[in-house]
Structure 1
Amino acid sequence: MLVRIVKLGFYKQNIDVFLNNFENNKAKIRAFDGCTFLELYRDKNDPGIFFTYSYWESDAHLQAYRKSAIFKSAWRTIKPLFSIRPEAWSVDKLETLD
């Protein structure tokens, strides 16, 4: 399983636009072939910083999503809203403790 962590920073006036975009696309992202989990987090100290966590069956599934019309449309909408350069990590999930 591949875990994708993305850090996104937005100017204050663009936060609602981002949140609306996420709301409109979250079900499509989660339903995309190979996506098994999706969450959105907000930084406690900076309300303009967000993190997405998504689980993918494989890197091939993630790359297919990144080439999809869903991703391209969402990215085109949010890219001009950033206050910082987005950062992304693909990591292997090694262990979960309940």
Structure 2
Amino acid sequence: MLVRIVKMSFNPSKVEEFLANFESNKHKIRAFEGCNFLELYRDQNNTNIFFTYSYWDSEADLNNYRHSDLFKSVWSKTKPLFNAKPEAWSVDKLASLD
């Protein structure tokens, strides 16, 4: 399993546009083959900074998503809203406690 973390910072006036785009696509992203989990987080202090956490069966599944029409559609609407370059990490989960 691969965990993908993406940090995104938006122009404050564009946050609602980002949230609307995420809302309309979140179920499609989660249903994409190989995606097992998707969450969106918002920074408590800098409310224009968001993080997505997604779990993927493999790097190949993530790459298939990143090259899909769905990703291209979502990203084309998201990218112009940024006020800083997004950051992304692919990590391995080492421990999980409930």
Deviations for 1:39-84, whole angstroms, at most 9, x for unmatched residues?
0000011010000000000000000000001100010001111011
Deviations for 1:13-35, whole angstroms, at most 9, x for unmatched residues?
10000000000100000000000
**SS of structure 2 residue aligned to 1:16:** helix
- Where does residue 72 of structure 1 map in the other structure? 72
TM-score, length-normalised on structure 1? 0.98
Query: % of aligned pairs identical?
Result: 64
1:1-98 alignment to 2 at 5 Å? 1-98=1-98
CA distance in 2, matches of 1:20, 1:97: 32
CA RMSD of aligned residues (A): 0.5
CA distance in 2, matches of 1:23, 1:52: 13
Listed as ranges, the gaps of 5+ residues in structure 2 are: none
TM-score, length-normalised on structure 2? 0.98
Give the residue type in structure 1 aligned to 2:38: L
CA distance in 2, matches of 1:6, 1:46: 16
**SS of structure 1 residue aligned to 2:90:** strand
Listed as ranges, the gaps of 5+ residues in structure 1 are: none
**Displacement after TM superposition at 1:95 (Å):** 1.4
**Displacement after TM superposition at 1:94 (Å):** 1.4
